[in-house]
Amino acid sequence: MTVRKIHGHPVLILGAGRGGSALLEMFLEDELVEVVAVADPNPEAPGIILAQSQGIPAYLDVGEAALACKDYSDCIVYNLTHDDSVIETVGKVFGNKKVTSGPEAMLFWQMVTNLKRIRGELEKSQDQLKAIIHHVMDGIITVNESAEIQGFNPAAEKIFGYSQKDVLGKNVSILMPSPYRSEHDAYISRYLQTGQGRIVGMHGREVMATRKDGEQFPAELSISEMALGGQRYFIGIVRDITERKAAEQKIVHLAHHDYLTGLPNRVLFLDRLEQAIAHARRAGCKVALLFLDLDGFKRVNDELGHDVGDMLLQEVARRLADIVRASDTVARVGGDEFTLILGNVAAQEFASQVAGKIIDALSEPFDMEGRQCQVGGSIGVSIFPDDSEDPGTLLKQSDEAMYLAKQRGKNRHKLYADVPKEAALS
């Protein structure tokens, strides 16, 4: 055999069974070693087939293989044939060169097999880990000490709108809105110097993040630290919680708003009333509380049905909202009962003017999908602090004034001051 130019240490493998084949596989991946020949009397031996597929000379005779390799200086010979006579055959060609054989070769074969098994298990684990990272629903972002992005899984690509190629090597702050973007590098530097930080090691922290198109969205972030190869890395797990936050807001909204009209319900109304009174105390102004009960609503429900009644209530809510200021509150507190909070009132005359506008608005016919209907409204008004300074008492007083309006002919408003003293005390 013509001696060819090689780039690693020459090796001759004698025996191409399982051990020889495993040894060859290992050497094929090692740049420091180059197998120059393989020998085995069985042409179907796995090592022979592998050598031929890689362009490595393969021989059926050990002596012939040894002669072909004698001109390679410092050639290392591994005897995996379990035949000690091979040593003598090879010795005649290579002189006194030591041949790795017998127990040594067996131990080496076992080591190679073990290493191959371990490597296979590691590769399998790595493949499994890569598959998990690739298919996990949460974004996984790896950042080095310089805050440069080193890893960006497909879920992160979907969440942020960037491809991995777009962000690798970029500062992770591109995923953050202001003012966090400008503060991030200083935070990382401080953490690396002192080991103190508010985010690293915490789980499920809610933050705001920024997509490629500039859209900001709520995210849940968990950050952990990892050391690898003498370097420190930060692993961020990001979850887009836009839908969850929307669901939470919807639940909160439903808990504080009327399902039919979308107006504040009794719970939110009472909270708003307390806030308005607290503000009025500080500002030295008045608060007017209006209690509205529709006149003729039961007849609409009975004659035209509950669906029309519901549409009527929705239209009433819209008309009321159009009359008051944006800072005022309109609430639905019962079937056909509404309350209004008018803040920053200088005098009770303003409340009377608003009540008059409401009665005029309700007197206009309602067109419910081609069906005309008409209602009116009776309104009671109480004033803070003139009538009371207690929210519950003010509500009761406006209710009493509303009943007085009904008694006096409906479709009108009355102040609590108009309520006869004996009625107020009963």
DSSP string, 234-292: EEEEEEE-HHHHHHHHHHHHHHHB-TTT--B-HHHHHHHHHHHHHHHHHHT-EEEEEEE
Looking up tokens 């790795």 gives 100
Rounded-to-10 torsion of CA 388, 391, 396, 397:
30
Under DSSP, is residue 142 helix (H, G, I), strand (E, B) or coil? strand
pLDDT band at 245 (very low <50, low <70, confident <90, very high): very high
Per-residue tokens: 317: 């809510």
Query: 409 or 194: which carries more pLDDT confidence?
Result: 409
DSSP string, 140-187: EEEEETTSBEEEE-HHHHHHHS--HHHHTTSBGGGGS-TTHHHHHHHH
> Of all helices (H) and strands (E), which one includes residue 202?
none
Longest dimension (CA), the chain: 133
What span, in angstroms and rounded, lies between the C-alpha atoms of 325 and 297? 26
pLDDT band at 182 (very low <50, low <70, confident <90, very high): low
- Evaluate if residue 330 carries a pLDDT over 70: yes
Mean pLDDT of the region 20-30: 85
- CA 132 to chain CA centroid, Å, is 17
Structural domains of the chain sorted by starting position, each given as residue range(s) with its CATH number in brackets: 9-116 (3.40.50.720), 136-242 (3.30.450.20), 257-425 (3.30.70.270)
- CA 251 to chain CA centroid, Å, is 20
Quote the pLDDT of residue 118.
73
Up-side HSE of residue 415: CA atoms within 13 Å toward CB?
A: 16
pLDDT in tens, 334-348: 999 999 999 999 888
Q: What pTM does this model have?
A: 0.58
pLDDT band at 56 (very low <50, low <70, confident <90, very high): very high
CB 416 within 8 A of CB 381: yes
Looking up tokens 């839908």 gives 243
Under DSSP, is residue 29 helix (H, G, I), strand (E, B) or coil? coil
- Evaluate if residue 167 carries a pLDDT over 80: yes
> Of all helices (H) and strands (E), which one includes residue 57?
none
Task: Write the CA distances from 309 to 232, 261, 302, 379, integer angstroms.
Answer: 67, 12, 9, 20
pLDDT in tens, 360-401: 999 999 988 778 889 999 999 999 999 999 999 999 999 999
- Evaluate if residue 204 carries a pLDDT over 80: no
